[in-house]
Every structure is written in C-alpha cells, then in structure tokens.
Amino acid sequence: MTRRLERVGEIIKQEVSKAILYKLRDPRISLVTVTQVKPSPDLRMAKIYVTIHGDESTQNETLNALKHAKGYIQSEMALHLKMRNTPSLTFYLDETEKKSSHILRLIEKAVDEDK
C-alpha cells in the first residue's frame, strides 16, 4: 500500500469512527471499533474492518445495522473529506482478535500438556 493510500485510509478511519460514535442514533449499533480501513487504489471503494463486542448474534445484528447506515456514514464522511469522490464503504467484521485468542488458547493448552 502506498503512503498516500495509508494516509487516506487513516483519514477515512477517523471520519467513519466519528460518524458511528457521534452521529448514528441506531440502538443496534454500540461498542463498535473501526480497526482498519483498506481503500482501493483508485479510491472509489474502501473496506472498513470493525470489531464489535458481544456475542455472535449481537455482532451480526450490529454489522447489518452498519451496512444499513452505510449511505448516511458516507454522506457524513463526504462533508469532512476534501476529495473529489467519496469512496463507497463496505463493512467487514474483523476476526483478528478472535483468531489471536484462539491461537493463544491452543499454545496454552500445548504448554499445559507438556508439563
């Protein structure tokens, strides 16, 4: 990823985070953290990775609410970005935390079995 894409990704991350935190009034959306933004090279699209605290059904419900609010979040982002085109947003659940805790449990189990 180029330096420019990284900078744009960080700006998008800040603006999307602000929109979710301060502008959305959907009760289904709570405890959401934007972890990563991957803009496309032409800046027409951006993948937004989020972590959502709660069980799997809560995560799915919150992710669906975010997808439903996509247009509003994009319009809020467009107000603050100084770009010719506003990227189209796609939300994804960031599984990194879940995978790392699973690997940590496997390592701990292996260490306990060696004792």
Domain that holds residue 59: 3-114
Using alpha carbons, select from 46, 59, 53 the residue that is nearest to residue 16. 46
- Give the Å distances, CA to CA, from 43 to 8, 9, 34, 46, 52: 9, 9, 18, 7, 26
Q: What is the pLDDT of residues 47-90, one digit of tens each?
A: 999 999 888 899 999 999 999 999 999 999 988 888 888 899 99
Q: Residue 68 has what pLDDT? A: 94
Which pTM value belongs to this model? 0.82
CATH number at residue 51: 3.30.300.20
In the chain, the largest separation of any two C-alpha atoms, in whole Å, equals 61
Structure confidence at residue 51 (pLDDT): 92
Dist CA 28 CA 38 (whole Å) = 25
Query: Per the structure, how many domains does the chain have?
Result: 1
